[in-house]
Structure 1
Amino acid sequence: METGYSRWRKLDNAALAFPLVTGKNDTRVFRFYCECKENVDPEILQQALDETMKRYPLFQAVLRKGLFWFYLERRDILPVVKEEKKPPCSSLYIPDKKTLLFEVTYYKKRINFEVYHALTDGTGAMHFLQELVQNYLILLHPEEELSKICLDEVSTPGDQEEDSFSQYYTAESGRAERKSHAVRLKGEKLPHEDMKITELNIPVKEIHKKAKSYGVSITIFLAAVMLCAIGEEIPRNKRKRPVALMIPVNLRNYFPSQSMTNFFGWIEVGHTFTENTTLKEVVDHVKVQFEQGLSRENVAQRMSGYVRLEKNPVIRAVPLEIKKYFLMLGASLGSRSITAVYSNIGIVRFSPGYEKYIDHFGIFASTNILQLCSCSYQDQMLLGFTSKLPNDNIQRNFQKILREEEVGFREEEQDFPGRNQELEKEGKQIFRLFTFLCLVAVVASAVLDYLITGDLNWFWFVAAGTVCTWLLVAVAYSKRRNILKNEMWQLLLVTILAVLWDHYTGWIGWSLDFVLPIGALGVLCSMAVIARVQHLEREEYLFYLVQAAMAGCIPVILTFLNLTTFVYPSVICSGISFLVLAGLLIFQKKDTLREFHKKLRM
């Protein structure tokens, strides 16, 4: 059904590195939630989600990997509301797994919206959650005749999925910022399922009054408090370096955009602490850095700097498997100037009448070290700390400073049913056991061979066979979520291993005469069967089917080069493969070329 939205789109500039730096220690998922005043009705919430998806179908996408970049592709997968059972901010992007990049769950009075950061940013998530909660409460209380808040009603599908980075990019070069190394919070890090979450509920009027007494905004004041809270934990021998915060900046405040994709930049603010540093000094210093960093000229120059790297023709032409190491290195080097992150999403607004059913909103994010997120609704501002540090000293210091400043707050009770839940998969344990058994087989064969013959003779064959078996199983396990990709990897690996065995056992040619053509033909035929049985969409099998057909044409080339002896399997395999390629180009030319365009987009 046509919706006006693209079937696929490239990742925006801010999200390019997210898939590469995502891991078990930092899932790059954040949670935006609404705490209601009554228990959540899951059936009504599902209806509300279905209604919300009509306005935001661009969220109905999966992340796919091209030759040069990742991209997002529309999928006919409907999101299903579930009861919260996993640890907060658990992984949503799992390579090769066809799943949506967001999840709506509920627990008691709480509605959770968790989203992978490559899909959208805090502003996009806030709009989605507002719409979801609004639809839910309207359906739950039809007698109230609750009115809807205006949420970009005039935006078009093109507006919502616009890559605003490219829209406002200018090629003018600016002087690169020189960044100093910041204090790093080192030491043992907790696993993700044990991530510490601390939430403080502060009256907006109180925090606003206090910030105003310093002549700054709430964001500047809280950033200064965060710096001081960290500064108290810095040893004297490390006080030569500044404590620095990354502060995400909503670029929609500078460049008109209704995009629901990522459109944010950031500034870095910091302070070098001494024994006599006061909060007032830090507030004044942070204020100056905000004024300088948030000037439109500096924001535009920094944004263009991000996009300039993406548009560099040399970088674009480097395959992703090579490029990812440089992107990961760049992310690692960039993090050296940052101690922690503070993100203020802003105010969540609703029409009058909703306050009877909404208690508060909150937000927090996965992190590899320490992060603070905040948002406000009515007179409640929620600060959400997430930390992988074993102790709560920084959070304790933060609360102490608020008390000294006479800012009232209460710590929210943390009730997460999946918290500290071990996420170890049974399959991972089985693969570890298999690896150990392979080692047992190799060692046992070496011991027996030496004890029986007094030398190592047949042991080498057993060891080589065991290694080959382990490699095949390891590839099958790592690519288990995408059976078609798995088959292509297995074909490549089996062919290489067969050629090596053929070579080191006295070349006969069986690897090229039989293994390659029969293997390629088997993969080609099985792909057609799998696609039909599993009812795969064209986007899921076309690219791999073309790969298999191209691989099936290789045997006839080897035959013309006189590298094969028994030619029948090669000729039959290549003939069928050629017909498959021809059929795809004749009957599904548009889809085939579009799939290659997505995969090969630079």
Structure 2
Amino acid sequence: MVNQKKARWRRLDNAAKLYSAASNKRDTRVFRFYCELKEEVRKELLQEALDQTVETFPMFLMVLRKGLFWHYLEPCNLHPVVKEEYKEPCSRLYVKDKKTLLFEVTYYKKRINFEVFHVLTDGTGATEFLKELVSNYLYLAHQKEGLEPVSMLPEDMTVQDQESDSFLKYYSKDQKRPKEKKTRAFQIRRKKKDGNHLHVHESVVSVKEVLKRSRELGVSMTVFLTAVFLKAIHEEMSKMQEKKPIVLMVPVNLRKFFPSTSMLNFFNWIEPGYDFSKRDRSFEEVLGYTKDFFEEQLTKEKMSAHINDLLALELHPILRLAPLELKNLCIHAGAKFSEKNTTAIFSNMSAVRMPDSYVPYIERFGVFTNTPKLELCLCSFEDKLSFAFTSRYDTVNIERNFYRLLKEQGITAEKVEPEFPKPQMPSEQEMKVYKVYSFLCLVLAAAMVVTDLNFHPRIRWTWFTAGGVATMWIASSIGFFKRYNLLKNVMWQLLIGSIICFIWDGFTGWHGWSADLALPILSVATLAGMFVIAKVQKSPVREYLIYEIMAAGYGLILPVILLLCGIVKKPMVSMFGALICFLFLVGVILFKGREFKEEMHKNLHV
């Protein structure tokens, strides 16, 4: 059992900061680890097993929140609910402004799926969670048959062990590695699949066959399969394309080099590449080069130097103080740029081991991930090595080449047809409705402009109508895109609403009503609205306090500035509004001082 079950808010590790900034609707940075049983999954038992598992891993019960300089993870009272699989594999789990867990457990027939956003954990953490979940489920399902409960984790492990940031633990600013100039890698250019959906192709081979052939060649399994993957890609290249090397990104579990029980991200990567235009094209030559590359790169010194490079950039004093939105733009652009340095991804999750008494109930384990590129993931269980190719390209030639090359090495693959239910896409329907609504608003506004240009009415009601439509569209668009967080929605409505009021006041001859009346009334109304929303939703203080502070600060500072600048002509309403906001801020400091200090620390941490 894990000691000290309460998890606290925490900063993101180095890899999580990249994933939180670079993820989007298509590149979700979500991966799936699954277990195929020899029996149909029972929902009620899986739910009970999940409830037990999250007690062992409380650090998974987190939501991603946004600070001024960095995202951070915070404990929540959300309860994970088991569902039958209902959407495309590795779909988005983190939706901006929506309070959701960063993992999901689903089932389909005999399969238990565990999908997780890479911000929360890496392959090692996901493996441990799924193993615990499967063992809890099988015990509940077969305890009457004499199956004994087995602890999958060390008894003395604590939540602090699970949450430790091993990147920071092993960072040393004194150690640097020489800068290496990277060349642009060959990119697979194929037409995307219809609808740009993720396609998964799986096969199973014998672990013994792969190990036997690898040992005959004097290399590890990973080196052998990397060389096969390089050759499989090369067979699809033209003479012109051979001018660029094939480069694979191969993740490396740093726990093999640095002792760590952390369930957070703690991995690195190497980039074995081969230039077929300058080197011998034989498999033996590719294999020998790959072996030498792995031996040179997979050293503690090289891994440590890479950690230091990554952390040095994150901890740079100027970059740390850059606003989060600016960081996100830079990280996203950097991630897109670095994609050009690799052709494909090869991820070996290694062997999954379960207690002997549980093995007879399990068919196999498998893993795959959402990716903008071609990716090959594999893991093994007993003598079954599961391969999974994922891509959005309209071709399976590289997979075909890969398995043919394996067959030439004496290894036969058994194709597996993964079964997925027809996905439900409510979000796509919502977006379609919004687009129709936006088009109708545009039609009405354009009609008013054309009417005005043709008939020139004495009272420009056409322009007022067009402006009203535009105002309605802006307000409703904010409501639509910020619908997952009502408190943030209201704050945005305050900001945009006050700007629109100033614009209307300016276009109608500037009577000053926007500064004298609209701004203070909107500010006070926003504070009251936030209070009602928080009470109705029964939100904890930490969730609504920061938005109320922002609204009160806005309602205090801006009217005072306008008053000092002489823009406010009738100050009575502005002064009362500013006074209410000031008293609110004083009340927060007096009665919610501890929560206020903690929220400021979380949102302003650098």
In the alignment, which of 583, 599, 603 is matched to residue 599 of structure 1? 603
8 Å Cα contact 1:64/1:71 also seen in 2: yes
Q: Residue 110 of structure 2 aligns to which amino acid in structure 1?
A: K
Counterpart-to-counterpart distance in 2, 1:501 and 1:265: 54
* CA distance 1:345–1:192, change in 2 (3 Å): farther
Instruction: Give the aligned partner of residue 126 of structure 2.
Output: 125
Instruction: Give the aligned partner of residue 172 of structure 2.
Output: 170
Give the C-alpha shift of residue 385 in structure 1: 0.8
Correspondence 1:250 to 2:253: yes
Counterpart-to-counterpart distance in 1, 2:292 and 2:331: 31
Counterpart-to-counterpart distance in 1, 2:303 and 2:19: 21
Counterpart-to-counterpart distance in 2, 1:191 and 1:526: 44
For 2:131, what is the secondary structure of its paired residue?
A: helix
Q: How does 1:211-290 map to 2 (within 5 A)?
A: 211-274=214-277, 277-290=281-294
How far does the alpha carbon of each residue in 1:227-282 deviate from its partner, in whole angstroms, 9 at most, with x for none? 11111111110101111110001111111111101011100001112496122111
Counterpart-to-counterpart distance in 2, 1:146 and 1:181: 54
8 Å Cα contact 2:162/2:264 also seen in 1: yes
Q: Residue 164 of structure 1 aligns to which amino acid in structure 2?
A: S
Q: Residue 326 of structure 1 aligns to which amino acid in structure 2?
A: C
For 1:353, what is the secondary structure of its paired residue?
A: helix
Q: Residue 319 of structure 2 aligns to which amino acid in structure 1?
A: I
Counterpart-to-counterpart distance in 1, 2:381 and 2:95: 33
For 1:141, what is the secondary structure of its paired residue?
A: helix
Instruction: Give the aligned partner of residue 379 of structure 1.
Output: 383
Same amino acid, percent of matched pairs: 44
Give the C-alpha shift of residue 459 in structure 1: 4.9
Correspondence 1:576 to 2:577: no
Q: Provide the aligned length of Structure 1 versus Structure 2.
A: 600
Correspondence 1:546 to 2:521: no
Instruction: Give the aligned partner of residue 98 of structure 1.
Output: 99
8 Å Cα contact 2:10/2:74 also seen in 1: yes
Give the C-alpha shift of residue 469 in structure 1: 2.7
* CA distance 1:351–1:6, change in 2 (3 Å): closer
Q: Residue 228 of structure 1 aligns to which amino acid in structure 2?
A: K
TM-score, normalization: structure 1?
A: 0.96
Counterpart-to-counterpart distance in 2, 1:190 and 1:323: 32
Q: Which runs of 5+ in 1 are unaligned?
A: none
Counterpart-to-counterpart distance in 2, 1:356 and 1:186: 44
TM-score, normalization: structure 2?
A: 0.96
Give the C-alpha shift of residue 460 in structure 1: 4.4
Q: How does 1:420-499 map to 2 (within 5 A)?
A: 422=425, 424-453=427-456, 459-499=462-502
Instruction: Give the aligned partner of residue 88 of structure 1.
Output: 89
Instruction: Give the aligned partner of residue 532 of structure 1.
Output: 535
Give the C-alpha shift of residue 194 in structure 1: 2.6
For 1:443, what is the secondary structure of its paired residue?
A: helix
Give the C-alpha shift of residue 52 in structure 1: 0.8
Counterpart-to-counterpart distance in 2, 1:39 and 1:4: 32
* CA distance 1:22–1:192, change in 2 (3 Å): farther
* CA distance 1:256–1:312, change in 2 (3 Å): same
Instruction: Give the aligned partner of residue 504 of structure 1.
Output: 507
Q: Residue 294 of structure 1 aligns to which amino acid in structure 2?
A: L
Q: Residue 430 of structure 2 aligns to which amino acid in structure 1?
A: G
Instruction: Give the aligned partner of residue 69 of structure 2.
Output: 68
Instruction: Judge which range, 482-491 or 468-477, deviates more.
Output: 468-477
Give the C-alpha shift of residue 557 in structure 1: 4.4
For 1:17, what is the secondary structure of its paired residue?
A: helix
Correspondence 1:400 to 2:404: yes
Counterpart-to-counterpart distance in 2, 1:4 and 1:168: 26
Counterpart-to-counterpart distance in 2, 1:191 and 1:574: 55
* CA distance 1:407–1:527, change in 2 (3 Å): same
Counterpart-to-counterpart distance in 2, 1:78 and 1:465: 43
Instruction: Give the aligned partner of residue 338 of structure 1.
Output: 342
Q: Residue 395 of structure 2 aligns to which amino acid in structure 1?
A: N
For 1:359, what is the secondary structure of its paired residue?
A: strand
Counterpart-to-counterpart distance in 2, 1:380 and 1:423: 37
Give the C-alpha shift of residue 422 in structure 1: 4.6
CA root-mean-square deviation: 1.9
Give the C-alpha shift of residue 478 in structure 1: 1.3
Give the C-alpha shift of residue 3 in structure 1: 4.3
Instruction: Judge which range, 522-531 or 271-280, deviates more.
Output: 271-280
Counterpart-to-counterpart distance in 2, 1:439 and 1:526: 30
For 2:356, what is the secondary structure of its paired residue?
A: coil
Instruction: Give the aligned partner of residue 320 of structure 1.
Output: 324
Q: Residue 285 of structure 1 aligns to which amino acid in structure 2?
A: Y
Correspondence 1:196 to 2:199: yes
For 1:63, what is the secondary structure of its paired residue?
A: strand
Q: Which runs of 5+ in 2 are unaligned?
A: none
Give the C-alpha shift of residue 519 in structure 1: 0.2
Correspondence 1:353 to 2:357: yes
* CA distance 1:455–1:304, change in 2 (3 Å): farther
